Amino acid sequence: MQKKIASYFKSS
């Protein structure tokens, strides 16, 4: 399953 990048980096 492909993870999304935003699940690792919080939006600032």
Partner 1 sequence: MFEAKFEDGGLFKKIVEAIKELVKNVNLEANGTGISLQAMDTSHVALVALQLNEKGFKKYRCEKSLTMGLSIENLQKILKCSGNDDQITLRTQDEEPTTLSFTFESKNRISEFQLNLMSLDQEQLGVPDTEYSSVVRMPSNEFTKICRELGNINEAIGIETSKEGIKFYVKGDIGEGQVSVKINDTEKPEERVECEVDEPVNLSFAVRYFNLFNKASALSSQVILSMSQDQPLVIEYIIEEMGSLKLYLAPKIND
Which residues lie near partner 1 (CB under 8 A)?
Answer: 1-12
Q: Which two tokens stand for residue 1?
A: 């399953």
**Cβ density class 1-12: b for 16+ within 10 Å, e for less:** eeeeeeeeeeee
**3-class SS of residue 5:** helix
